[in-house]
């Protein structure tokens, strides 16, 4: 059965019913990032994940590469999308495609930067039910 997570955010805050936030995501080189999985194992989605990330001003995700690709839709704020040796300034309603294997990083400029990111599931998420 399908699931609806209604938007319950307010000015400057993006929240959805029934979705838990992962505060202070950590990892090598991660600064000022929080996030949540909007569609994933808890909703029964076997083929993809929709995640929301918020990066605080001056913060950034890790500089990394993965075998899987990413589809990114910017919701709010302005940020930088590094892909390989190229850096692009992006803002609301911009769409970014990061191919598998490409070095990438997202960073916020002078305001909170929020985006949706669609990726395939990790093998252990399907069996472990991790978020």
**For the chain, which residues make up each domain, given as ranges?**
31-128
26-52 residue pLDDT tens: 788 899 999 999 999 999 999 999 999
What pTM, to 2 d.p., does this model score? 0.88
Say how many C-beta atoms besides its own lie within 10 A of residue 120's C-beta: 16
Alpha-carbon distance 94 to 76, whole Å?
Answer: 10
CATH number of 31-128: 2.60.120.10
Q: What is the pLDDT of residues 74-111, one digit of tens each?
A: 999 999 999 999 999 999 999 999 999 999 999 999 99
Instruction: Please list the active-site residues.
Output: 117
In this model, does residue 12 exceed pLDDT 90?
no
**So what's the pLDDT on residue 32?**
94
Q: What is the mean pLDDT of residues 17-30?
A: 82
């Amino acid at each position: 059965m399908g699931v609806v997570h209604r938007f319950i955010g307010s000015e400057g805050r993006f929240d959805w019913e029934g979705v838990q936030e992962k505060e202070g995501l950590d990892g090598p080189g991660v600064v000022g990032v929080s996030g949540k999985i909007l569609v994933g194992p808890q909703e029964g989605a076997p083929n993809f994940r929709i995640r929301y990330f918020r990066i605080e001003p001056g913060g950034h995700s890790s500089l990394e590469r993965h075998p899987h690709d990413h589809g990114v839709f910017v919701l709010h704020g302005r940020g930088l999308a590094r892909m390989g040796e190229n850096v692009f300034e992006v803002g609301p309603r911009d769409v970014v495609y990061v191919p598998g294997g490409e070095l990438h990083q997202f960073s916020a400029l002078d305001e909170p930067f929020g985006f949706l990111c669609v990726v395939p599931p990790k093998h252990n998420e399907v069996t472990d039910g991790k978020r």
